[in-house]
């Protein structure tokens, strides 16, 4: 089974801090994703990476950056955390659609981040 | 904006009953996927139906797709308390099929 591991289940940080959320997948997937999930707003895509060092902006990239230096690891960075970034953050991975057709995404259990 | 919209937003049924959730979308699709999310956990992929398929089964799950109406339904038969979760439909948002847009979800409660 695919395993997507997020480094923390719960995290509390202060306004203005630089925050790193880490995600690791063990299935050699090309694609990795970061979403945030808020009540009433559903899942919104922050960033998508289709290869090492490659990224595309999603719906809400403002205030976030990402890093993918190795295929298995995808990091989400909050450059200067703000209270409106308090949310549940979900990482996912999938095979590349170009090689394998449309593929399901495999999710981690999420990081519930609170910014005080 | 959300590509998929689930209906109803919430559903409460007794164990053993069937649960039907609907999803409507706006633009043409290559495929539609359904996911489940237990409280406080990540999403789990349930089933993928391609645009040239009309119906697909997986265990107690039955998914239909009507591309003319831009809608899909997920039927869970003989529901169990363990089926209590939120259910989301998702459609591809890029031509390559890598990225998905998720609907707002249906919260299903199955009472024992």
Q: Are A42 and B97 a contacting pair at CB < 8 A?
A: no
Question: Can you tell me the distance from the alpha carbon of B108 to that of B8, in angstroms, rounded to the nearest whole number?
Answer: 9
Q: What is the CATH number of the domain that holds B25?
A: 2.60.40.10
For chain B of 112 residues, list the mean pLDDT of each consecutive stretch of 10. 72 96 89 94 94 95 96 97 96 77 93 94
Using the Cβ of B92 and the Cβ atoms of chain A, whether some distance falls under 8 Å is answered with yes
Residue A31 confidence (pLDDT) = 93
3-state secondary structure of B18: coil
- The full set of domain ranges for chain A reads 4-115
Among B25, B42, B50, B56, pick the best mutation site for testing chain A contact (most A Cβ within 10 A): B42
Residue A21 confidence (pLDDT) = 98
Residue A80 confidence (pLDDT) = 97
Domain of B51?
4-111
State the sign of the Cα–Cα–Cα–Cα dihedral B72, A91, A101, B44. negative
pLDDT tens-digit series, residues B1-10:
345 678 888 9
The alpha-carbon gap from A110 to the nearest alpha carbon of chain B, in Å, equals 6
Question: Can you tell me the distance from the alpha carbon of B110 to that of B108, in angstroms, rounded to the nearest whole number?
Answer: 6
Question: Can you tell me the distance from the alpha carbon of B103 to that of B3, in angstroms, rounded to the nearest whole number?
Answer: 7
Q: Are B88 and A42 a contacting pair at CB < 8 A?
A: yes
Residue A98 confidence (pLDDT) = 67
Bridge-based pairing of strands A64-70 and A73-78 is antiparallel
Residue B3 confidence (pLDDT) = 57
Domain total of chain B: 1
Which residues in chain B have their CB less than 8 angstroms from residue A90's CB?
Answer: 42-43
For chain A of 116 residues, list the mean pLDDT of each consecutive stretch of 10. 89 97 95 93 92 93 97 97 97 81 89 97
CATH topology of domain A4-115: Immunoglobulin-like (2.60.40)
The neighbouring-strand residues paired with B92 are B100
Give the side-chain half-sphere CA count within 13 A for B11: 28
The neighbouring-strand residues paired with B43 are B37
Which residues in chain B have their CB less than 8 angstroms from residue A102's CB?
Answer: 30-31, 48, 50, 92, 97
For residue A91, the chain B residue with the least C-alpha distance is: B42
């Amino acid at each position: 089974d695919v395993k997507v591991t997020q480094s923390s289940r719960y995290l509390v940080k202060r306004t203005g801090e630089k925050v790193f959320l880490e995600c690791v997948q063990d299935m050699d997937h090309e694609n990795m994703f970061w979403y945030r999930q808020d009540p009433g707003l559903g899942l919104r895509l922050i960033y998508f990476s289709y290869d090492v060092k490659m990224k595309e902006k999603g719906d809400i990239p403002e205030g976030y950056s990402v890093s993918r230096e190795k295929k298995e690891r995808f990091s989400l960075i909050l450059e200067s955390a703000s209270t409106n970034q308090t949310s549940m953050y979900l990482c996912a991975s999938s095979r590349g659609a170009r090689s394998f057709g449309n593929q399901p995404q495999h999710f981690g259990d999420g990081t519930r981040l609170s910014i005080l | 904006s959300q590509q998929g919209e689930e209906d109803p937003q919430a559903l409460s049924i007794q164990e053993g009953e069937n649960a039907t959730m609907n999803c409507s979308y706006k633009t043409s699709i290559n495929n539609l996927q359904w996911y489940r999310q237990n409280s406080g956990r990540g999403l789990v992929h349930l089933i993928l139906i391609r645009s040239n398929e009309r119906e697909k089964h997986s265990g107690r799950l039955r998914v239909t797709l009507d591309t003319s109406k831009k809608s899909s339904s997920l039927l869970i038969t003989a529901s169990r308390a363990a089926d209590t979760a939120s259910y989301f439909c998702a459609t591809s948002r890029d031509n390559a099929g890598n990225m998905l847009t998720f609907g707002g979800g249906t919260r299903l409660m199955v009472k024992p």
